[in-house]
Every structure is written in structure tokens, then in C-alpha cells.
Chains A and B, each alone.
Chain A
Amino acid sequence: MSKMKTTNVEVRLPSRMGFEKVAMSTAASVAKLMGFRDDRVEDLKTAVAEACINAIEHGNRLNEKLSVGVVLSAGEDSLEVKVIDDGTGMKKQPAKPDIDRKMHGEEDARGMGMFLIQALVDEAEWVAGTDGKSSYVRLVIRLDKEAE
């Protein structure tokens, strides 16, 4: 995949838990073709999986009549991933998880997906669809050429 401008790969997933692994594997394959280090591929896999889980569970509310779109755009030095669902999008960003509050029952043990996404990729933004649906999360992970 040398001298690549932008190459798109698209996957459509049923809104069923577990199918996030299909997107995860596809993203990993594209990232490896682009030359990402193994540790960055692992970061991307978790971020993409969590974005798809959010889309399946919260965006499409596990409605199997709806699908989750995953669009990977491989550029020369970065990979952009859009995960699109039929939800209305995020109203606000959840607070950073606090392990002490979780351990003391003051915070739900769940709710770490968005934190992980933000922590593991170089850019993450949540965009609400203008028509009240077709919302998406956009992730960008950059090739770190100096570390290659």
C-alpha cells in the first residue's frame, strides 16, 4: 500500500453484540497494511471495538433491523475511522471514570468505552446527525514515522 492517497474500506455490521469484532479485525488489517506498529494496532482495535459497541448498544439500541456503518479511510500518514449509527448522538461527554468511586459503589462499574476511545487514538469526536439520526464517531490514528 505504498504511495497511497486515500483508500476507503467499508463494513456494515448488524446491531448485535459481538459483531464489533468484525470491524476490529478489518481495522487491524488496514492498519497493518499501512505499517502501524503492533502496539498502535492494538490501541486501534480497542477504540474501534468500543465505538462499535456504543453504536450497537446505545445508538441503534440493539435493533437488529438497523446496521452500523464503519468507514475506514487510509491516508498517507493516518487512518480515519467513522462509526455511524441511527441514534441521535451524544448529548454530553461522560466524566472520566474514577476507579475509587467505582470501588465504593458511587459510580457504575461500566461506562469506560468513550474514555478508552479518547485515550487510545490521536483524535476522537462525536458528531450528532443533522436529521436526528446518522450520528457518528470519528477516530483518527496517525502513523508515528519517527518511531517506526
Chain B
Amino acid sequence: MQSETKSHVDQVTSPAGHPVTVLRFEGDIASTSKDAVLGTYQALPKATAKLILLDFTKVDYINSSGIALVIQLLIEASNSGQKVSAFGLSPHFVKVFTMVGITKYAGLFPSQAEAMAAL
């Protein structure tokens, strides 16, 4: 019933010249999304992927289990010295992410360009 979460990884360069890894998600982010969210993140080379963007542009539904997966990703990233930001969340999910405190550990931006400019 939950739509499968798809994810893929893009490598881009920030305006400041830093290499940036973009994790793009599509579908629902829920309890069934562990492989797509954490699995995709954990497959990144930690030595080189220091700046990470999470792209939620094509995500319509995120529930509390999905938010927990994002928090788990942030915990692992923090422990690995990686900086994580996110973009493309709807105004509602910006509010929800802010309510649970995620903005303390990950910047939220409307678009990829704005997220990249902040790196």
C-alpha cells in the first residue's frame, strides 16, 4: 500500500567549488524506506562525501517512522563529520521537521540552488 521509496545519488559541485553528494528520494518516506534512506546513505564513501543534500522534491508523504529514518541518517552523518542539508520539502513538512527539531542539525532550503549556495 505504501509506494516504494526510490532513491538515487548525484554528484555535483557547489558554487564555492566543494563536491556535494545529493540523495534524491521519490515516493513515500515511511517505515518501509530504510534501505532507500539509510541504505543509500550508508553506501556513500564517508571519506569523500562530506557535504550531503537530501532532495525531497518528489516526496509527497513522510510519516513519523520516515522522520525517524532521517534522524538516524543525521546521527550517522554527525558521527562521521558530514554536513547534511535538505531541500524540496513542502511547507507542511518544513513545519513538521522544524517542530521535531531537525533544523538544529540540518539546514532546510526551498531549492537545490539555495541549498548549494549555503555550502
Residues of A within 8 A of B (CB): 16-21, 39, 42-43, 46, 49-50, 53, 97-100, 102-103, 105, 108-113, 115-116, 119
Contacts and interface: CB of A to CB of B under 8 A. Distances in A.
Contact of A97 (B30, B61, B92, B101): B101
Contacts of B91: 39, 42
Interface string B29-47: 0111000000000000000
A119 B105 CA distance: 21
Interface of B: 1-2, 30-32, 61, 63-65, 67-69, 71-72, 74-75, 78, 90-92, 96, 99-102, 104-105
Contact of B68 (A20, A98, A110): A110
Contacts of A50: 63-64
Contacts of B100: 97, 99, 112, 115-116
A46 B92 contact: yes
Contact of B99 (A16, A110, A119): A119
Given A17-B2, A109-B68, A110-B65, A42 B92 contact: yes
Contacts of A98: 101
Given A18-B1, A110-B65, A46 B96 contact: yes
| Residue in B1, B72, B105 with the greatest tally of chain A CB atoms within 10 Å | B1
Nearest to B72: A109
Contacts of A108: 68
Nearest to A40: B92
A14 B75 CA distance: 34
